[in-house]
Amino acid sequence: NAGVTQTPKFQVLKTGQSMTLQCAQDMNHNSMYWYRQDPGMGLRLIYYSASEGTTDKGEVPNGYNVSRLNKREFSLRLESAAPSQTSVYFCASTLRRTGGYYGYTFGSGTRLTVV
Amino acid sequence: AQSVSQHNHHVILSEAASLELGCNYSYGGTVNLFWYVQYPGQHLQLLLKYFSGDPLVKGIKGFEAEFIKSKFSFNLRKPSVQWSDTAEYFCAVTSYNTDKLIFGTGTRLQVFP
């Protein structure tokens, strides 16, 4: 099925460990995003990539890095995980057309716990 | 910087009651506006969106929203809620000049039979 695929769905890390969250879309979208969702804080933008080869910081980039590997894939890396990074992470993508953005599509999320 | 405010953090209603959830944004340019819903344990689903034209937008499941440019608002409404509408609702905004989709903090809606 077409859409946004995130892996893994669940992960437990120890403080200081590193990991990469993977995201891939098969809708030929040009823009991709990483969000984190925390209770009472909504979804906050970590990083985004407007097009292949570009990445930009969002609202809460500290402690994260991203790679736009190609048009389909956008990965999020935690170099040294901290308990404050315990959250649910969502990847999203959209196609920018004349007149604005249409159809942001979200992945099913990665629930990350850092102990 | 863009921001989105949702003033109702938690709303409790009985079935058949009317619903209005507030959303205000701060951006002076041309915006695209969205309402998303997240049912328990699920990811976000698009309820409706506004790009241009008629400021009254109709979405899925009987929801609608009205864009009032002078008030920077995009409130979500439903005339008669159902128990199955229990979920968290998020307002979001983006614009032509930025590639960022910014969300509000969400409103948790509980509907009791």
Q: CA of B95 to nearest chain A CA: how many angstroms apart?
A: 7
- d(CA B94, CA B31) in angstroms, rounded, equals 6
- d(CA A25, CA A4) in angstroms, rounded, equals 4
Yes or no: say if A55 and A49 are a contact pair by the CB < 8 Å rule.
yes
pLDDT of the residue at A41: 87
Mean pLDDT of A54-66: 95
Domain B4-112 falls in which CATH fold? Immunoglobulin-like (2.60.40)
A44 backbone dihedrals φ, ψ, rounded to 5°: -115, 135
pLDDT of the residue at A63: 96
User: What is chain B's mean pLDDT, rounded?
Assistant: 92
Residues in chain A closer than 8 A to B95 (CB atoms): 100
pLDDT above 90 covers a percentage of chain A that reads 77
Mean pLDDT of B7-36: 92
Q: At residue A11, does pLDDT exceed 60?
A: yes
Contact state of A31 with B99 under an 8 Å Cβ cutoff: yes
Residues in chain A closer than 8 A to B42 (CB atoms): 108
- d(CA B11, CA A16) in angstroms, rounded, equals 39
Taking the Cβ of residue A56 and every Cβ of chain B, the question of whether any pair is shorter than 8 Å is answered with yes
Chain Cα centroid distance, residue A81: 16
Contact state of B105 with A48 under an 8 Å Cβ cutoff: no
Q: CA of A39 to nearest chain B CA: how many angstroms apart?
A: 9
Residues in chain A closer than 8 A to B59 (CB atoms): none
Taking the Cβ of residue A114 and every Cβ of chain B, the question of whether any pair is shorter than 8 Å is answered with no
Give residues with Cβ within 8 angstroms of A94, minimum separation 6.
Answer: A29, A30, A31, A33, A101, A102, A103, A104, A105, B101
Lowest pLDDT segment from A2-11, B11-20, B47-56, B95-104 = B95-104
